[in-house]
């Protein structure tokens, strides 16, 4: 129950273990082409251009920045934690003038008005949002913020590494120009794929560049023809794709779409609500300042007074693996629980049960079963 890599379905794991074909074998070309088409459906971006690359989520961020940013371009980073910091650093690496709007306390998000004021006061080409910051478990209102950016003629890139396939994200409808993720979270495929969908305005901005892309591997000049060729079911090559991972992606995207995006998003909402209610009923404080600012793919929970990270080991001994803190300001004061992908009611109840056992073993006074009961009231 960590926020990635998550647990993968047997069908996905079987695809990982298949004999590896050539990247230009006709059956693989078809699997790759289909995965590109399915990705558009998962990102809800019928007009988008998907990129499926060997690499991790950071490569997808790098690719977005490398292809859009030229020396001196203004980039506004809406900063909600560790991974927003990363986007700022990547943008700087490509010569951007980076400005940040940052919440004053960990667990908060900048207000829509603050972001708008920043957009108004500067000249920006790109705004970056971290849909769900995995270090704080807070989520930002992508729909509202992207709309405002569009009104100011600014492109929006959404780091959806901890959201796509779990949180609601409607790329085209919400006017998001780039959405990106990695395979190992709510997409449900072992680590190793960077996934990005670029909308028409992002591709346009890329085509209007005056200077060369300063990253060889991530250059869309190389990859656009490759993605187009696979979609047309034609052989092509720039860098060898991660054949088995693409095969696994094809399987997982079909499983996601079989469930249906709306149902999947709702399942994540309910499970998240059940977990968060359970934590509240056990008097455990969470990192996000309010439910509206909370992710549905993971939760960040402060250790109760008198306990510390030794609780993690006890939760593990009770049979569930959760993650430690990540945000540098509060790193040793909280733990994180991922509840995304194929997670089900039994998983979340087992997790709450393990947390209760750990609390009890570390001497915390609470009414046993209270968390489980609170969750059970929500999980039908």
For ligand PMP, the closer of residues 33 and 338 by Cβ is: 338
DSSP codes joined into one string, 205-271: HHHT-SS--S-STT-HHHHHHHHHHHHTT----SS---HHHHHHHHHHHHHHHHH-HHHHHHHHHHH
In Å, how far are 94, 151, 152, 235 from 125, measured between CA atoms?
13, 12, 10, 35
Q: Which residue is nearest to ligand PMP (CB)?
A: 57
**Candidate ranges 19-27, 130-138, 199-207, 344-352; the one touching ligand PMP (CB under 6 A):** 130-138
Please list every residue from 66 through 105 that binds ligand PMP, using CB under 6 A: 83
Contact yes or no for 322/3 (Cβ under 8 A): no
Strand 323-324 with 49-54, pairing: unpaired
Helix and strand numbers (H, E) in the chain are 13, 12
Q: Does 341 bind ligand PMP (CB under 6 A)?
A: no
| Binding region for ligand PMP (CB under 6 A) out of 72-80, 126-134, 204-212, 243-251 | 126-134
Q: Of the ranges 12-20, 155-163, 248-256, 328-336, which one interacts with ligand PMP (CB under 6 A)?
A: 155-163
- 3 state DSSP class of 79: strand
Polymer length of the chain: 380
Closest distance of CB 229 from ligand PMP, Å: 26
**Subset of 32-71 contacting ligand PMP (CB under 6 A):** 56-58
CB of 342 to ligand PMP, least distance (A): 18
109 near ligand PMP, rule: CB under 6 A = no
How many residues form the binding site for ligand PMP (CB under 6 A)?
A: 12
Q: Which is nearer to ligand PMP, 182 or 349 (CB)?
A: 182
Nearest of 138, 133, 129, 132 to residue 158 by alpha carbon: 129
Which residues is 99 bridged to in the sheet?
Answer: 76
Q: Using CB under 6 A as the criterion, what x/- string covers residues 177-216 for binding ligand PMP? A: -----x----------------------------------
* 379 contact partners, CB below 8 Å, separation of at least 6: 270, 271, 274, 345, 348, 349
In the structure encoding, which two tokens stand for residue 61, read together? 């961020």
Asked if 159 touches ligand PMP (CB under 6 A), the answer is: yes
Look at strands 138-139 and 132-133 and give their pairing.
Answer: antiparallel
Report the nearest approach of ligand PMP to the CB of residue 103 (Å).
16
Binding flag, residue 2, ligand PMP (CB under 6 A): no
What residues line the site for ligand PMP (CB under 6 A)? 4, 56-58, 83, 130, 133-134, 159, 161-162, 182
């Amino acid at each position: 129950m960590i926020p990635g890599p998550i647990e993968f379905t047997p069908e996905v794991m079987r695809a990982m273990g298949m004999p590896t074909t050539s990247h230009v074998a006709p059956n693989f070309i078809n699997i790759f082409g289909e995965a590109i088409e399915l990705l558009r459906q998962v990102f809800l971006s019928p007009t988008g251009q998907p990129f499926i690359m060997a690499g991790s989520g950071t490569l997808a961020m790098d690719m977005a920045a490398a292809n859009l940013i030229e020396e001196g371009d203004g980039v506004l980073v809406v900063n909600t934690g560790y991974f927003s910091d990363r986007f700022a650093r990547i943008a700087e690496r490509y010569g951007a003038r980076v400005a940040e709007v940052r919440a004053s306390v960990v667990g908060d998000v900048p207000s829509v008005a603050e972001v708008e004021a920043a957009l108004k006061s500067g000249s920006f080409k790109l705004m970056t949002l971290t849909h769900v910051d995995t270090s704080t478990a807070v989520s930002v209102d992508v729909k509202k913020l992207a709309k405002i950016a569009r009104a100011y003629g600014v492109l929006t890139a959404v780091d959806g590494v901890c959201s796509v396939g779990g949180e609601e994200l409607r790329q085209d409808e919400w006017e998001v120009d780039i959405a990106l993720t990695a395979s190992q979270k709510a997409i449900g495929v072992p680590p190793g794929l960077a996934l990005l969908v670029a909308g028409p305005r992002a591709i346009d901005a890329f085509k209007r560049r005056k200077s060369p892309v300063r990253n060889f591997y991530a250059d869309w000049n190389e990859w656009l023809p490759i993605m187009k060729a696979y979609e047309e079911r034609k052989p092509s090559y720039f860098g060898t794709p991660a054949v088995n991972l693409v095969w696994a992606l094809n399987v997982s995207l079909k499983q996601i779409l079989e469930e249906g995006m709306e149902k999947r998003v709702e399942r994540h909402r309910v499970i998240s609500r059940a977990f968060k209610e359970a934590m509240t009923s056990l008097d455990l404080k969470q990192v996000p300042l309010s439910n509206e600012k909370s992710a549905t793919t993971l939760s960040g929970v402060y250790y109760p007074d008198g306990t510390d990270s030794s609780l993690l080991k006890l939760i593990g001994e009770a049979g569930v693996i959760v993650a430690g803190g990540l945000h540098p300001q509060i790193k040793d004061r909280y733990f994180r629980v991922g509840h995304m992908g194929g997670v089900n009611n039994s998983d979340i109840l087992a997790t709450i049960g393990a947390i209760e056992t750990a609390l009890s073993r570390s001497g915390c006074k609470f009414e046993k079963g209270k968390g489980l009961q609170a969750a059970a009231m929500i999980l039908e």
